[in-house]
A = this chain, B = another copy of it.
Amino acid sequence: MKPWRVIGFDADDTLWHNETIFENVHERYRALLSSYHGAAIVDRTLFATEIRNLELYGYGVKGFTLSAIETAIELTQGKIGADEIRTLIELGREMLDHPVVLLDGVVDTLELLARSHRLLVITKGDLRDQERKLAKSGLGALFQHVEILSEKDQASYASILRRHDIKPAEFLMVGNSLKSDILPVLALGGGGVHVPYHLTWGHERTTEQPNAPGRFFEIGNLRELPGLL
């Protein structure tokens, strides 16, 4: 295998659980609106609002909360009460305040790899929220740099590699999203290790399959990563 010198890690659903928190909130959101609409319509409308607002809000909990309030007003034709909107604001705050629960194998794997490789975190979302999660995770000292981006695409990865003087051929990105973590890095000539999470947000789904023999790998648990290197 190639001599990858630098390994980038996605954070949400790669190092710690995140989509499970959203899924729990989605359940409570459906329950809140269940007297107006069935779950499928609630899910579909909320997702459409999120995507419509993505360009303006970016990723993260605050934009999600605003989209959830907007959708609730739309789906109830303005009949939703102020108490219920307060509940949505509370749900958002709970998400921001949620404990960080690491995925299995994360600590052991990172501690092992930090001895032989430069490790980075490359994540997207709300600036303060991602910084807070990293602080709560206790993993900060294992990473040489933390990059919080508004979008993870080919241009943003290229800019990080340039800024840190990393050649694409020596860079390996590890994450749960083919679309955000793997495909843009493969396109630049780097390597990618996909570690699927059991839930994937609709916006991160892609039908495109990586085609980069010797540079793309899929593993079931982060513990398998050192064996790959």
Contact = CB atoms under 8 A, between A and B. Distances in A.
B78 A66 contact: no
A33 interface: no
Interface in A59-82: 62-63, 65-66, 69-70, 73, 76, 78-82
A218 interface: no
A2 interface: no
Contact of A66 (B66, B76, B79): B66
B89 A58 contact: no
Contacts of A93: 53, 56
Contact of A85 (B85, B92, B129, B148): B85
Interface of A: 53, 56-58, 62-63, 65-66, 69-70, 73, 76, 78-83, 85-86, 89, 92-93, 96-97, 126-129, 131, 148-150
Given A62-B62, A62-B126, 11 more contacts: A53-B93, A62-B63, A66-B66, A66-B92, A70-B86, A78-B82, A78-B83, A78-B86, A85-B85, A127-B149, A131-B150
